[in-house]
Amino acid sequence: MRVPGRGYGSFPGGSSIRLGPPGPVPPVVKNLLIAGACAYVLQLLVGRAVLWRYFALFPGEVLQGEVWRLGTYLFLHGGIMHLALNSLFLWMFGSELEQRWGSRFFLKYYLVCGVGAGLFDVLTLMSHSHVTVGASGAIYGVLMAYGMWFPNREVWVFAIFPVKVRYLVVFLIALSFFQAVESSGDGIAHAAHLGGLIVGYLYLRWWGASGLGIASMPGPRDLKRAYLRWRFRRLQRKRTRGGPTLH
């Protein structure tokens, strides 16, 4: 995806397109990228099975008290492409959020989304044999935040066609929900993805208002008002097109 926009990551006249945000990588995003890469190298050195045995997210073990897995699973990945995609999305969408929010709040938000996604996974599966690794739940929370802050930004999907971020987030929510319900067994933690989206929205909407202007973000009442305004304008257009009626 390629992200055009203004402000941090801006482009003169809004006409050019760039892969991701410009400028240096902010400190928390950079350290998270380094931590993920180091954990993957450690997996290669000592064996994936060894690290996963003690640090991956097994719902059964978490329910038995091994709660540290809700944080450590975020830094383990199933393969180089898994790590690369999560790292790409974290850099593309997390960098601007950290610049806007500050490093402390961004790190707290990232970890809250990651742990919340893990809890969602545990509570929906509750299986000793199922295992979840990767930062995707936290990344989905970052995507939710980006969509809430920059709803009209456009991303170029597959570098072919532009889609506004708000529509992308709605699509991801619907996709994660239906795939989580289906439990298709495709090896993807759809419940964790959905959990990251939901926890991210709730955290920003109700608990993250520490000077970030969260109150201006859209909520259910805002959506209802927008829908009523749309209905009113639609009725006005119909009356205008119809013109006066003579009897």
Residue environment code for 59-87, b if the CB has 16+ CB neighbours within 10 A, otherwise e: bebbeeeeeebbebbbbbbbeeebbebbb
* Known catalytic membership, residue 193: yes
Cα separation, 79 vs 83, whole angstroms: 6
Cβ–Cβ < 8 Å for 141, 200: yes
In this structure, how many other beta carbons lie within 10 angstroms of the beta carbon of residue 157? 13
Q: Which entry of 77, 136, 176, 190 is annotated as an active-site residue?
A: 136
Give the closest residue to 116 by CA, choosing from 84, 90, 87, 142: 142
Q: Which entry of 193, 210, 216, 247 is annotated as an active-site residue?
A: 193
- Identify the DSSP state of 160: T
In this structure, how many other beta carbons lie within 10 angstroms of the beta carbon of residue 107? 17
Give the chain's radius of gyration (CA, Å). Answer: 21
Per DSSP bridges, beta strands 154-157 and 161-164 are: antiparallel
Active site members: 136, 193
